[in-house]
Amino acid sequence: EPEVTQTPSHQVTQMGQEVILRCVPISNHLYFYWYRQILGQKVEFLVSFYNNEISEKSEIFDDQFSVERPDGSNFTLKIRSTKLEDSAMYFCASRLTRGSYEQYFGPGTRLTVT
Amino acid sequence: AQSVTQPDIHITVSEGASLELRCNYSYGATPYLFWYVQSPGQGLQLLLKYFSGDTLVQGIKGFEAEFKRSQSSFNLRKPSVHWSDAAEYFCAVGARYAGNNRKLIWGLGTSLAVNP
């Protein structure tokens, strides 16, 4: 069964460093998402992406964040200068078509900023 | 604003007992609704979903959920809990008419512990 994959599973970085979280969505899906879950808090929407552009972003997704689909398979989330409060689990998800509702989630990347 | 409330932060049940996890939502129209489960160290697995039609929906692992429009609820149930059901359970809602987006709004989650 096709699945969303994410790498790395755990990333430790120092404050101020850039990190790139990688996701490979399900191959024929068209819509892509990043969510994050700070420990003990709700899963929060960060950004949605379709047709090579951001379709919606939350207030969390400020200028320090960017997303890219550099090729036909990868979907990346970049944090330019990490802060302690960026420590969280980051989930990638993909959705098939405009008419579909279900999002398929990857296993997540745990980002720890020290 | 859209929101999801899961009133129970932690629930402990005995193996074989029945389970009900509560979910209430606030949304201007009928949303589409999901329950996800997250086992320790794992990602988010879809248990079941409601889009339309029969308000009682069946999911994987023997779970079911009932959509009650009058109560703005979508409670998750299982008649007999297994030790392997110990996990974090999340209720999520999404906009039915949101164009290309369909982002999900999440509850805080309910942590389920199962006593042998």
| Mean pLDDT computed over B13-21 | 97
The pLDDT value recorded for residue B5 is 96
Joined together, the tokens standing for residue B50 give 């409601």
Residue type, A89: M
Joined together, the tokens standing for residue A1 give 């069964």
% residues pLDDT > 70 (chain A):
100
Examine residue B79 and say whether the peptide bond preceding it is cis (omega within 30 degrees of 0).
no
pLDDT digits (tens, 9 = 90+) for A22-68: 999 999 999 999 999 998 888 999 999 999 999 999 999 999 999 99
Chain A interface includes B43 (CB < 8 A): yes
pLDDT-derived band of residue B96, with 50, 70 and 90 as boundaries?
Answer: low
Chain A interface includes B31 (CB < 8 A): no
pLDDT digits (tens, 9 = 90+) for B48-67: 999 888 999 999 999 999 99
| Mean pLDDT computed over A81-85 | 96
The pLDDT value recorded for residue A81 is 95
| Mean pLDDT computed over A89-106 | 90
Domain A5-113: CATH architecture, name and number where available: Sandwich (2.60)
**Sequence ranges of the domains in chain A:** 5-113
Give dist(CA B23, CA B36) in Å, integer.
12
Closest CA to A88 of A56, A63, A60, A67: A60
Q: How far from A71 is each of A25, A36, A68, A98, A102, CA to CA, in Å?
A: 12, 23, 9, 21, 24
Cβ–Cβ gap B105/A104 under 8 Å: no
Partners of A106 on chain B (C-beta within 8 Å) are 43
| Mean pLDDT computed over B16-26 | 96
CA atoms within 13 A on the CB side of B15: 7
Residue A18 has pLDDT above 70, yes or no: yes
Q: Of A95, A102, A108, which is closest to B43 when you measure between CB atoms?
A: A108
Q: Give a three-class secondary structure readout of B36-91.
A: EEECCCCCCEEEEEECCCCCEEECHHHCEEEEEHHHCEEEEEECCCCHHHCEEEEE
The pLDDT value recorded for residue B53 is 87
Domain B3-115: CATH architecture, name and number where available: Sandwich (2.60)
Give dist(CA B57, CA A83) in Å, integer.
42
Average pLDDT, chain B: 91
Residue B84 has pLDDT above 80, yes or no: yes
